[in-house]
Structure 1
Amino acid sequence: MIRVSFVAWMSFALAGPAFAEDLAFTVVNDTSSTVVEFYVSPVDTDDWEENMVSSAVAPGDEVTATIADGRSVCDYDIRAVFEDGEEAESRDVNLCDLGTFTLHE
């Protein structure tokens, strides 16, 4: 089973984005499975929004994810789908404070 955890970088260079600006963070695949889909949706949304990765993220690789939805929110639900069909979800993640989101086994 794949578990999700996150690592927050606290740095003066990444103090958190201003509201209604693009929200960028690094997604690290620290699992043995390839990520084929990665979704984020505001916590008050019932549906997953569009897939944020344009190509698969192999084990050990990382990609920058940018949320450019024009919303003034920080709290998102996250869902990763792996090549083998496994899924991992994390709820109510404050992405304004997050510099890196790491997927772990």
Structure 2
Amino acid sequence: MEFCPKCGTVMFPKDNCFECKCGYKSEITKEQKSNYEVSEKVSAKENIIVKGEDVKTLPCTRAICPKCGNKEAFWWLQQTRRADESETRFLRCTKCGQTWREYD
């Protein structure tokens, strides 16, 4: 990810530049191009779902995996029911990748 040196917001690639919503632009270098891969183009109105098994950027917590017994898991919250109900907490084992959910 590239961050704007003016305002600190995440900048997104557009054509051959990184653009920030504050108006700052910077040209994409060869090194930066090798770090990014465009897998498919989407319109600005579409939601983007990140695919893949690399969730190492998610926060970790102590939780016992029901599959392997490991005591650490990545976690995230997602609204799976009506808006007036609490979110669902998803956990993924840091060792075997088993995913399970918890409700509040």
Q: Same fold (TM over 0.5)?
A: no
Q: Which has the higher helix share?
A: 2
Shorter-chain TM-score bucket reads: under 0.3
Specify which structure has the bigger relative contact order, considering alpha-carbon pairs within 8 angstroms and separated by 6 or more residues: 1
The structure number with the bigger radius of gyration is 2
| TM-score, normalising length: structure 2 | 0.27
Q: Which has the higher strand share?
A: 1
| TM-score, normalising length: structure 1 | 0.27
